[in-house]
Amino acid sequence: MAGMDDESVERTGDSTAGSVPSSTGDRHIDQILAALGRLDDLPVSNHADVYLDVHDRLSGELNPQQKLREAGAHGSP
Is residue 11 scored above 50 in pLDDT?
no
**pLDDT at residue 63, rounded to an integer:** 87
- Residue 3 domain-assigned? no
Q: How far apart are CA 10 and CA 5, in angstroms?
A: 9
Q: Which structural domain, as residue segments, surrounds residue 28?
A: 22-70
- Residue 75 domain-assigned? no
Q: How far apart are CA 8 and CA 5, in angstroms?
A: 5
In the chain, the percentage of residues whose pLDDT exceeds 70 is 58
Check if the beta carbon of residue 21 is closer than 8 Å to that of residue 15: yes
Count structural domains, the chain.
Answer: 1
- Residue type for position 29: I
Is residue 39 scored above 70 in pLDDT?
yes
**pLDDT at residue 19, rounded to an integer:** 62
Is residue 75 scored above 60 in pLDDT?
no
Check if the beta carbon of residue 3 is closer than 8 Å to that of residue 17: no
User: 48 falls in which pLDDT band (50, 70, 90)?
Assistant: very high
pTM for the structure as a whole: 0.59
